[in-house]
Amino acid sequence: MSSYPVSVYGAIPSLNVTYVDAVSNPPQLAVKSYAPYKRFAVEIVDDGLDTAGLRTGDYAVFREQGWPNDELQVVCVAFGNDMTLRILEGIQMREPFLRTARDVVREQRHRNDFIVLGILDGIIKADFVEFMEVEEEAFEWGC
């Protein structure tokens, strides 16, 4: 079975927020399924979303999508350069809730206060994480 590369943007917590700097040459996580949309991965660094199956050391694969279509999806959100992972509740509300498992963190924020960067698309458990080298394609100028 073929493996497909997904860029890893770093380690993101769910119980707090962290500053995330742009990664110029991110490592590539090997995933087994092809997707027709752009994806990115983050390393899970705490157990704030353990009821969603995300544990420390796992990698969450997100599809780039601006706003979820369904309630209670795990999302990667940004507050400027600070990022976190949360469950989004009340997607039709002007001030939805961003929360973790068992409501350890539960905050109501205006939807203009944050940006949804992606929706959880899959999980790669820590025991099955595999990185891959992606060969850069030669660029032809066409001259």
**pLDDT tens per residue, range 38-96:** 999 999 999 999 999 999 999 999 999 989 999 999 999 999 999 999 999 999 999 99
CATH of the domain at 75: 2.10.109.10
Q: What was the pLDDT predicted at 1? A: 67
The count of domains in the chain is 1
Whether residue 143 is contained in a domain is answered as no
Full residue range of the structural domain in which residue 21 is found: 4-132
Instruction: Kindly state whether residue 141 falls inside one of the protein's structural domains.
Output: no
Give domain status of residue 142, yes or no: no
Q: Is residue 128 part of a domain?
A: yes
The answer to whether residue 137 sits within a structural domain is no
pLDDT the model gives residue 107:
97
Instruction: Output the pLDDT for position 21.
Output: 85
Output the pTM of the full model: 0.89
More confident residue, 101 or 24: 101
Residue at 25 is within a domain: yes
Mean pLDDT of the region 95-105: 97
- pLDDT tens profile 106-142: 999 999 999 999 999 999 999 999 999 876 655 555 5
pLDDT at 131: 95
pLDDT score recorded for residue 142: 57
87 and 73 in contact (C-beta within 8 Å)?
yes
Q: Is 10 part of a structural domain of the chain?
A: yes
Residue 86 resides in a domain: yes
